[in-house]
Structure 1
Amino acid sequence: MQLSKSKSVVWYLYLVKSPTGMLYTGISTEPARRLRQHNGELAGGAKALRGKGPFELAFSLAFADKSSASKAEALVKSWSKERKLQLCLHQPLPLDQLNQLCGESRIEASQPAG
């Protein structure tokens, strides 16, 4: 029996929010792990975020591949803070822009717990 080398991995666009309202945009295969890294619970968080937490997961969106997630990340990073906040609230216009950019590679929108 031969194992397939091409394992399907889901990539996520995510935004984390600091207590002061700062938003950070990134991509990961495991947003919950990245949040823990950004909060200093695990090694490997973004240097730009050190000492600015604790952070909460404000938004995540699943994509079928890294390329699509990267394109979405680049788009969202170009947006104003106001537009990013609209995305975190799942308002239609920013979500529609991500859909247009990435088409069928988008999997689903997910809201953070709590």
Structure 2
Amino acid sequence: MTSQCIEEKSLQPWFLYVLETKHKHFYTGITTQWRRRFIEHSSNTVKSAKALRGKGPLTLRYCVQVPSHSIALQAEYWLKKQGKNKKTSIVEHSIPLPYPHTLVDFSNMAE
């Protein structure tokens, strides 16, 4: 990877998101384009995560912008290690994510 690619990767906004399946399971991921990634996951095609295929409809439950790819990776790893109750509390904004972040307003997104 060239230094220009690394620099461009670090300058992009990064997002941590949580999806909920029809079975009420959570799926956590990171991306630079959360709308595109949600559409890909919902499509049940090669671009959707294998863990989500056939488990739709999916609901975007939580999405935050984080300052860097590194923080996105750390926050994703941390959140995936949490139990269902703690994840639910974070998704419902009862407790804050312990990483720097800005909430994303996705309320007007058609699902």
Considering the TM-score relative to the shorter chain, is it more than 0.5? yes
2:44, 2:54 within 8 Å by CA — same for their partners in 1? no
**Superposition TM-score, scaled by structure 2 size:** 0.81
SS of 1:98 mapped into structure 2? coil
Alignment of 1:72-87 (within 5 A): 72-87=75-90
Q: Which residue matches 1:12? A: 15
Q: CA RMSD, aligned part only?
A: 1.8
Q: How many equivalent pairs are there?
A: 101
Runs of 4+ aligned residues of structure 1 deviating over 3 Å after TM superposition are none
State the shift of 1:42 in Å: 6.3
Measured at CA, do residues 33 and 42 of structure 1 come closer, stay the same or move farther in structure 2, by a change above 3 Å?
farther
Task: State the shift of 1:18 in Å.
Answer: 1.2
In the alignment, the residues of structure 2 paired with residue 83 and residue 54 of structure 1 have an alpha-carbon distance, to the nearest angstrom, of 23
How far does residue 110 in structure 1 lie from its aligned partner after superposition? 2.5
Q: Mind listing any 5+ residue stretches in structure 1 that lack a counterpart?
A: 100-105
Q: How big is the shift at 1:111? A: 4.4
Q: 1:98 to 1:88 in 2, by over 3 A?
A: same
Query: Percent of aligned pairs with the same residue?
Result: 29
Structure 2 portions without partners, runs of 5+? none
